[in-house]
A and B are shown apart, each in its own frame.
Chain A
Amino acid sequence: MRRHHDMGGLDAGPVEQNEHDYAPWEKRVDAILRLLSAPGRRMITVDELRRGIEELGPGAYDEMSYYERWIASVTNNLVEKGTLTVEELGRKMAEVEARWDADRAAHKNSQEERAQ
């Protein structure tokens, strides 16, 4: 049976020729994968990346953006290999979110002060 990523030859709509400049976080995902897969490190192979992406399942595969799929796969691979734990990841994500929220609030305040 054909899996969802194996789409060559299927029907689909017109090619939407939109493209966007990659955001810094997207390039960062790309850079992380390149570093982890580089000779000398080889902590994750392209095949492992793909397996992780294909395992996201049909819904996620189509709903997530390209680099969202990549970071989800990279992260799952790193957890599987024991490089990161789920707990560390959860703690760090909460920390990042709190920091960004604080930065945003501080930015908003300084803008309001300037406006007065």
Chain B
Amino acid sequence: MSENGNDQQDGGHSHGHAHDHSHRHPFQPDLEDGGYSYYQVMTEAVAELLLEKAVITSEELRKTVESIDSKSPAFGARMVARAWVDPDFKARMLDDVIAAADELGIDAGGIPIKAIENTDRVHNVIVCTLCSCYPRLLIGLPPDWYKARAYRSRVVREPRAVLEEFGTSIPDDMEVRVHDSTADLRYMVLPARPKGTEALDEEALAALVTRDCMIGTAVPKSN
């Protein structure tokens, strides 16, 4: 940031260089680590230019990062657990995920998301072969492998083999459906409730639902 003091500052502190480092610049690479990359510098430069030009504000930037940090598979898991105990909710969720999320006070964003239900005959798995579309507001940022070449290339062609690599064996007589996401329609898997969980309450059920269960590379297991 410039030192002439007319720009929006991250965290409200100035970058005159006489300031002490009792607090660290929040976006500076760790001083202890091995260096920073060209694209890290580019990111900082673009952010600072957008702030100086008042295209965005530091408050918005901070809140948006916080919002990204706050999203986790726990949101999706809560929806799944509710669907397991409440068939009417499940029907509404299969009809409209965003509205069903809203019932639970969860913001699923504005891009349509379709829930696809695993049954005793069908197992579902999601991918985005062209890029990385993913229901991030319900299950957090995608893992690296979801965005990587191997998964994107192979899961549409040999899903059973890919699922085996995740330790998930799908019986031969069960159909596997692969859903390729787009920028305009994302998917989440509504896994099947595992047997032996009749005594569990909703919170305990939600704890069984991992991120990978909602991608479809895993299935929930009763402990």
Whether B149 pairs with A62 at a CB distance below 8 angstroms is yes
Q: A89-B46, A92-B49 are in contact. Are A27 and B55 (CB under 8 A)?
A: no
Q: How long is the Cα–Cα vector from A16 to B110 in the complex, in angstroms?
A: 32
Q: How long is the Cα–Cα vector from A99 to B48 in the complex, in angstroms?
A: 13
Whether B49 pairs with A89 at a CB distance below 8 angstroms is yes
Q: How long is the Cα–Cα vector from A12 to B77 in the complex, in angstroms?
A: 31
Per DSSP, chain A at the interface is: helix
Q: How long is the Cα–Cα vector from A106 to B143 in the complex, in angstroms?
A: 36
Interface string of A7-44 (1 = CB under 8 A from B): 11111111111111010110111111011100100010
Give chain A residues whose Cβ lies under 8 Å from the Cβ of B180.
8
Whether A68 pairs with B46 at a CB distance below 8 angstroms is no
Whether B41 pairs with A96 at a CB distance below 8 angstroms is yes
Give chain B residues whose Cβ lies under 8 Å from the Cβ of A104.
31
Closest partner residue, chain A, to B61 (CB atom): A31
Closest partner residue, chain B, to A74 (CB atom): B46
Give chain A residues whose Cβ lies under 8 Å from the Cβ of B162.
15
Whether B42 pairs with A75 at a CB distance below 8 angstroms is yes
What is the CB-to-nearest-CB distance from B6 to chain A, in angstroms, rounded to a whole number? Answer: 15
Q: Give the residues from 142 to 157 in chain B that come closer than 8 angstroms, CB to CB, to chain A.
A: 143-145, 147-154, 156-157
Q: Give the residues from 1 to 58 in chain B that come closer than 8 angstroms, CB to CB, to chain A.
A: 2, 15, 17, 21, 25-29, 31, 36-37, 39-50, 53, 55-56
Whether B132 pairs with A7 at a CB distance below 8 angstroms is no
Interface string of B120-140 (1 = CB under 8 A from A): 000000010111100000000
Q: A17-B145, A47-B183 are in contact. Are A7 and B46 (CB under 8 A)?
A: no
Whether B152 pairs with A7 at a CB distance below 8 angstroms is yes
Whether A15 pairs with B43 at a CB distance below 8 angstroms is no
Residues of chain A whose beta carbon lies under 8 Å from any beta carbon of chain B: 5-20, 22, 24-25, 27-32, 34-36, 39, 43, 46-47, 50, 53, 62, 64-68, 71-72, 74-75, 78, 83-84, 88-89, 92-93, 95-97, 99-100, 102-104, 106-107
- Could you give 30 example pairs across A and B, Cβ below 8 Å? A5-B130, A6-B129, A8-B127, A8-B180, A9-B153, A9-B157, A11-B154, A15-B154, A15-B166, A16-B150, A17-B145, A19-B143, A28-B61, A32-B50, A36-B50, A36-B55, A43-B55, A46-B183, A53-B131, A66-B132, A66-B144, A68-B37, A72-B42, A83-B50, A84-B46, A89-B42, A89-B49, A97-B41, A103-B31, A107-B21
